[in-house]
Amino acid sequence: MHVQIMQLHGGRVQMKVYLDNGASTMADKRAVKAMLPCFTKIYGNPSSLHTFGADARKAVDSSREVIAKKINADINEIIFTSGGTESDNTAIIGAAKANNDKGDHIITTKIEHKAVLNAFKYLEKKGFKTTYLNVDKEGLIDLDELKKAIIDKTILVSVMHANNEIGTIQNIRGIGKICREKNVILHTDTVQSFTKVPINVKDDFIDLASFSSHKIHGPKGVGALFIRSGVKIKPLLHGGGHEFNLRAGTENVPGIVGFAKAAELCNSEANEKMKKLRDYMIEKIKKIPNAKINGSLEKRLVNNINVSFKGIEGEAILTLLNEAGVAVSTGSACHSKNLQPSHVLKSIKTPDNYIQGSIRITVSRFTTKKEADYAVKNLKIIVKKLTEMSPLG
């Protein structure tokens, strides 16, 4: 479907606005600068015994310390991976297999990222039994339901810290306390929340946590996994003794250095800027007829807006916004080509006449008010046009 919507601008795209930072972010130039010496000067293999290797090892260990300090972990509790998906799979599958002698029951929620849900499906094929926790209309789990779900054979709970689609932030400390009291391993996917929400692995009773670089203005293809000292996991990759024998493969030194620099650059000032812009946009979007903000308004990521419009399709909104130069998504980028209704929106009981008309807008610390105004102006025009064309509008 094609609709001429750019009448305000004479048919021309006036700006290009990137509002899909939940999928990936522009790398911070300072992170890129930090990486450059690792291509031409610090290029040795970190496992090599000569000075070239030692220099690379020093760069990796310095980066490991940066990530560890961000979450109050010990330096030897951080291993580097290729990203959030590998970290999730290593944590979930690795912990389940390593602790299978204690039980075969595992718990997660109905709104997890596919990297978590598909890891659980894999384990189910291997004989593990899964309980999928419900969420309320904001996307929050019930702690009492979690308590009741834990049985003698429960060995692992995985609850994401903040949802990638609707931005809802879980009470991870309350969840962690329950798991620690029950002697059950807690894994949390913090890919969206890392640096945006305070994480203290000790105070929050977290055993395993997944991180990703490209969500925080670092390079793609690198992430990390926190493994609390004493927690047993079986590695997924088998090779040399890299990353404390838990993740085989030569470390991506440039990526790791860039990741650490990006993490170092994230701060509360940037978060406050994103929050103000998010709230500014939400107030404007709420005035568009038939708009419904999905998720919690209070317990929400500082950069996330998920909105549905009655009787129209999110894919059509996305396409027409793209024609106007504005990039958003219809959900998680990892499965945005899948036209099935969002499992997250279904779980929070979004009405059927709204569920297909959802888009996710995610700002970054580099997003400007001018860009926000341009995006909302075009969104208003597009929704009006599509609503007029829709038989359900």
Q: How far apart are CA 80 and CA 66, in angstroms?
A: 12
Mean residue pLDDT across the chain = 94
Q: Is the pLDDT of residue 178 over 90?
A: yes
* Cβ atoms within 10 Å, residue 144: 9
**DSSP label at 199?**
-
11 vs 52, 66, 136, 295, 376, CA distance in Å?
Answer: 56, 48, 43, 35, 17
Q: Are 290 and 254 found together in one domain?
A: no
CB 257 within 8 A of CB 63: yes
Q: Are 173 and 37 found together in one domain?
A: yes
Residue 24 lies in a domain: no
User: Span 279-285, mean pLDDT?
Assistant: 98
Q: How far apart are CA 131 and CA 257, in angstroms?
A: 38
334 belongs to the catalytic site: yes
What are the pLDDT digits (tens) for 298-356? 999 999 999 999 999 999 999 999 999 999 998 644 544 556 789 999 999 999 999 99
Q: Which of 207, 230, 265 is the last residue of a domain?
A: 265
What is this structure's pTM? 0.94
Q: Is the pLDDT of residue 226 over 50?
A: yes
Per the structure, the complete domain to which residue 298 belongs is given by 6-19+268-389
**Number of structural domains in the chain:** 2
Q: Where are the beta strands (DSSP E) in 174-313?
A: 185-189, 208-212, 223-227, 291-293, 304-309
Q: How far apart are CA 228 and CA 74, in angstroms?
A: 8
How confident is residue 112, by pLDDT bands cut at 50, 70 and 90?
very high
Q: What is the pLDDT of residue 338?
A: 56
Q: Which of 216, 242, 265 is the last residue of a domain?
A: 265
Q: Are 313 and 370 found together in one domain?
A: yes
CB 375 within 8 A of CB 17: yes
Q: What is the CATH number for 355? A: 3.90.1150.10
Q: Are 66 and 178 found together in one domain?
A: yes
Q: Is the pLDDT of residue 9 over 90?
A: no
Q: Is the pLDDT of residue 2 over 90?
A: no
Residue 88 lies in a domain: yes
Q: Which of 265, 286, 304 is the last residue of a domain?
A: 265
How confident is residue 3, by pLDDT bands cut at 50, 70 and 90?
very low
Q: Are 205 and 170 found together in one domain?
A: yes
Q: 3-7, 136-140, 179-183, 301-305 — which is least confidently predicted?
A: 3-7
User: Span 103-126, mean pLDDT?
Assistant: 98
Q: Are 347 and 315 found together in one domain?
A: yes
Q: Are 213 and 333 found together in one domain?
A: no
Q: How far apart are CA 367 and CA 378, in angstroms?
A: 16
Q: Are 306 and 384 found together in one domain?
A: yes
Least Cα distance to 326 among 334, 317, 335 occurs for: 317
Least Cα distance to 79 among 69, 71, 87, 70 occurs for: 87
Q: Are 124 and 205 found together in one domain?
A: yes
Q: 75-84, 337-346, 378-387 — which is least confidently predicted?
A: 337-346
Q: Are 207 and 166 found together in one domain?
A: yes
Q: Are 54 and 180 found together in one domain?
A: yes
133 vs 87, 142, 152, CA distance in Å?
Answer: 22, 8, 17
- Phi first, then psi, for residue 227 (nearest 5°) are -125, 110
CB 265 within 8 A of CB 217: yes
Query: Which residue of the set 38, 179, 266, 334 is catalytic?
Result: 334
Q: Are 293 and 195 found together in one domain?
A: no
Q: What is the CATH number for 50? A: 3.40.640.10
Q: What is the pLDDT of residue 392?
A: 56
- Tokens representing 193 are 């929340």
Residue 179 lies in a domain: yes
How confident is residue 86, by pLDDT bands cut at 50, 70 and 90?
very high
